[in-house]
Amino acid sequence: MNDSSAARGAAIDLTGLRRQYGPVVAVDDVTLSIEPGEFVTLLGPSGSGKTTTLNLLAGFEKPDAGRIEVGGVDLSRTPAHERNLGVVFQNYALFPHLDVAANVGFGLRQRNIDRATRTRLVTQALETVDLAGMGHRRPSQLSGGQQQRVALARAIAYQPPVLLMDEPLGALDRKLRDQMQLELRRIHREVGSTVVFVTHDQEEALALSDRIAVFNRGHIEQVGTGIDLYERPETMFIATFLGESTIVRGTVEHDTRGTFLAVGSARLRVAGTLPAGSRAGVMVRPERLILSKDQPDDSREAIEIDVLEEVYLGSTRKFALRLPDGTEGLVREAVTTASAVRPGDRAWVSWRTTDGVLLPEGELAAPDEDESAP
Ligand SMILES: Nc1ncnc2c1ncn2[C@@H]1O[C@H](COP(=O)(O)OP(=O)(O)OP(=O)(O)O)[C@@H](O)[C@H]1O
Ligand SMILES: [Mg+2]
């Protein structure tokens, strides 16, 4: 918004948040600090506590324990309508009997803002979401994407310091979603609000967020930038939830030259360290693996595998492998790389020591049904 009184985003501090429904601990000791103006996404499998966390922040639910601070003010006991947060939820429920302008101005009326200011803020908000001139239409006269943008305009109209969005693009088809993602980035830049965004779409999370908090069973498993989570996952869950991975499992060994993973008769050098004797895995992203017919020289870590399948995907080619322990792995190579390896071959897969991430054995993420990873 140009004459930007621009809502400066507010810092958000969640400390030890907990919410239990009967025996189900929906949110379990969630602690998260968000910088003013930051765009943070809560990502995780279905039922992992994302919506409950957002509802606690919005004030639609009461925590059993913990603190919620916005802009340094403790809101833990403040009713939702006094928290002054912009909220866009998936079923955005526009008022069908009100026109677009009245829908967008609804929160402003409730705040007793005078008519002239209201008109100005509504016009501004509609411009921001690219719906200038649509103020007199009814919601039923708009497309799904336009209705979604009205809901967004309604949330940003009073320039809230914090915007909370729960799967706001969930109802849209892929093309509109991509378009709305770009809009959201632009709006976030222009409005300057702190955004807490919920999605279970990893690509959307990567495209939009400064940082991503990955939820698993009510707790935050890891928080970081997309690069942190993809390149330096801290648990097997993160490694298998975000993007594709190949995991070579074995037993940790130490000697004077460093830490190794014993996998059958192979000893693989690893970059990190874990206690000797513990079960662990080296996780390597498929694009960092190389397939070869012959054993590579010892500048690379390598194991012998069976090539199961080759899939041509346009810009890349994907190979499914069987690892020594019987589990499957993946290699992705550019189609411009002419690999001599074919399905049915016994071959080698190798990687640079520093491209492997040593992780303790742990829970894996369940495969995502509507997997949207690239
Ligand atoms: N009002 C409620 N009563 C009882 N259980 C609830 C209630 N709301 C949520 N839960 C439970 O709490 C857990 C977390 O739910 P939540 O809605 O926060 O998950 P989510 O991460 O948003 O999932 P999704 O991606 O499916 O929207 C789930 O096990 C859910 O069944
Ligand atoms: Mg949810």
d(CA 374, CA 361): 26
Task: Specify whether 141 is located in the same domain as 289.
Answer: no
Closest Cα to atom 25 of ligand 1? 46
Task: Give nearest CA residue, ligand 1 atom 4.
Answer: 21
- Final residue of a structural domain among 230, 256, 279: 230
Dist CA 190 CA 364 (whole Å):
39
- Same domain flag for 37 and 139: yes
Domain contains 82: yes
Note whether 104 and 152 are same-domain residues.
yes
Tell me the whole-structure pTM to 2 decimals: 0.90
Residue 129 has pLDDT above 60, yes or no: yes
**What CATH code is carried by the domain that includes residue 264?**
2.40.50.140
Pairing, β 258-263 against β 266-269: antiparallel
- For 277-328, the pLDDT digits (tens) are 999 999 999 999 999 999 999 899 999 999 999 999 998 999 999 999 999 9
Domain of residue 314, residue span: 244-360
- The pick from 20, 25, 30, 48 for probing ligand 1's pocket by mutation, whose C-beta has the most ligand atoms within 8 angstroms, reads 48
| Residue of 27, 51, 221 with the most ligand 1 atoms within 8 Å of its CB, for mutation | 51
pLDDT tens digits along 66-91: 999 999 999 999 999 899 898 888 66
Same domain, 143 and 281: no
255's CB contacts (< 8 A; 6+ apart) are none
List the residue whose alpha carbon is closest to atom 30 of ligand 1: 47
In a domain, 5, yes or no: no
Q: What pLDDT is recorded for position 369?
A: 55
**pLDDT for residue 3:** 42
Nearest ligand, CA 19: 1
**Pair 130, 195 in one domain:** yes
Residue nearest to atom 3 of ligand 1 (CA): 21
For a substitution probing ligand 1, which of 50, 53, 55, 214 has the most ligand atoms within 8 Å of its CB?
50
Query: SS3 of 136, please?
Result: coil
Residue 3 inside a domain? The answer is no
Tell the residue number behind the tokens 């833990």, with chain if given. Answer: 76
